[in-house]
Amino acid sequence: MVSNRAVVWSPDYLSYRWSADHPMNPTRLELTMSLASGLGLLEGAELVRPEAASDADLLRIHTPGYIEAVKHAGHSTTPGVLGPDSPHGLGTEDNPVFPQMHEASAILAGGSLTAAREIASGRTRRAVSIGGGMHHAMPDWASGFCVYNDVAIAISWLLDNGFDRIAYIDVDAHHGDGVQHAFADDPRVLTISLHQHPATLWPNTGWSSEIGRGSGEGTTINLPVLPGTVDAPWLRGFHAVVPGAIAAFRPQIVVSQCGVDSHREDPLADLALTIDGQRAAFLAMRDLADRHAEGRWLAVGGGGYGLVRVVPRAWTHLIAAALDVELRPDRAVPESWRERAHSLVPSVDLPVSMSDGGDVDYLPWDGPGGAPETGIPAVDRALTRVDSAVIATRRACFPLLGLDPEDPRD
């Protein structure tokens, strides 16, 4: 049966749990699925249960020594923080050793792979796996709460299974460094990352000048935005760079990393998006897949540390986008979900609606120096700052894609 949309989910995703007080807590995934369910999104939806990624799958991106080290660590008798110089990054403050960490990480990777297989087989056009998006993991070390780079593994698999033009869009607050690293020299994969400026946030990469290497030059794009950026300037930046690049690249599939630590309440980053701005970004990426990739859209999760007030609502909007279910921002949060959330995290002031009331009306970018014509005072610092980044990024990358960096129609 072709359902055209699939939600890839396993309760085993909840075993990816670094420690009781680690910022990445699987409660966010549980509360997302219960909110999506409470709103009726999952009625009739195809839930696909993934298998864990095999060693052969993981070896697409990771080294044999690293995989062995992850297996060994997860079965050791000394979980927790071992020190800053732990081999392979396993046992640092960010990435403490936890029991069964190989198995827990392999199921997340298997989820993104399953989503890729569902789309490649033609069984579905869109698939979403909120457990994925571990975009910082490197070939032989854990990084930024990420053990196995599920999304790079899925892209690598797609490259071997009929796809040779893959667009990856990463809207997490942090630079998508691991995925960029995996494909920086591969012209078949366009990676685009929008993130908080590297001078102000770990991992301190993702400058406009990072454009790829060798034959992959021009298929790495970075748009860094300054701390405090709100919905409208963020969306202006997104639309000034992403649609033009996607149209020029002509992908067969769009892969989206949908980290939601860009939210104004996120404790680990300093961007200032609302749920509404994040929803607009998801819909924009879906629209790009519809327009340029025959609807093929693989969406994964990522960062997001507003475990109760942010992630569940944002990713419920993501699931709705993938399923093509109209979910209005002003929809009330079901009381049953509020009770569930309260029972898990009693101290949090719970949201009542699926919106933060954010303003997502952005002014389209209209070229360098265009702001005066739109009537925007040049002193609007937020726009000026985003435009500086837009111009730098377009000048670095657009000529390599055959586009005019100065022409707002490109």
Binding residues vs Zn ion (CB under 5 A): 172-174, 259, 261, 303
Indicate if 136 belongs to the active site: yes
Shortest separation between residue 174's beta carbon and Zn ion, angstroms: 3
How far is residue 126's CA from residue 18's CA, in Å, rounded to a whole number? 30
Which residue(s) pair with 193 in the sheet?
170, 222
63, two tokens: 């080294």
| Residues 6+ away with beta carbon under 8 Å from 200 | 226, 227, 270
Residue nearest to Zn ion (CB): 303
* Residues 211 and 187: beta-carbon distance below 8 Å: no
Residue (252 or 257) nearer to Zn ion, CB? 257
* Alpha helix segments (H runs only) across 39-100: 55-58, 64-74
* Smallest separation, CB 112 to Zn ion (Å): 16
In the complex with Zn ion, the residue whose CB is nearer, 244 or 303, is 303
295 touches 125 (CB < 8 A): yes
Residues 6+ apart with CB under 8 A from 343: none
- Residue 271 main-chain phi, psi, to 5 deg: -75, 175
Least Å distance between CB 121 and Zn ion? 31
Q: How far is the CB of 191 from Zn ion (least distance, A)?
A: 15
Q: Which of 121, 187, 177 is nearest to 145 (CA)?
A: 177
- Kindly tell me which of 304 and 405 has the beta carbon lying closer to Zn ion: 304
By beta-carbon proximity to Zn ion, the closer residue of 203 and 368 is 203
Asked if the bond preceding 203 is cis, omega within 30° of 0, the reply is yes
Beta strands across the sheet bearing 124-129: 47-48, 4-8, 124-129, 297-300, 253-257, 166-170, 189-196, 220-225
The Cα–Cα gap between 130 and 314 comes to 11
Taking the complex as a whole, the smallest distance from the CB of residue 129 to Zn ion amounts, in Å, to: 17
User: Using the 8-state DSSP alphabet, how is residue 332 labeled?
Assistant: B
Annotated catalytic residue within 136, 174, 197, 239: 136
Residues paired with 273 in a beta bridge: 263
Query: Which DSSP symbol is given to 76?
Result: S
- Closest contact distance (angstroms) between CB of 144 and Zn ion is 7
The nearer residue to Zn ion, 125 or 317, going by C-beta atoms, is: 317
Alpha helical stretches, state H, 168-307: 177-183, 231-249, 275-292
Q: Which is nearer to Zn ion, 231 or 387 (CB)?
A: 231
Which sequence positions are flagged as catalytic?
136
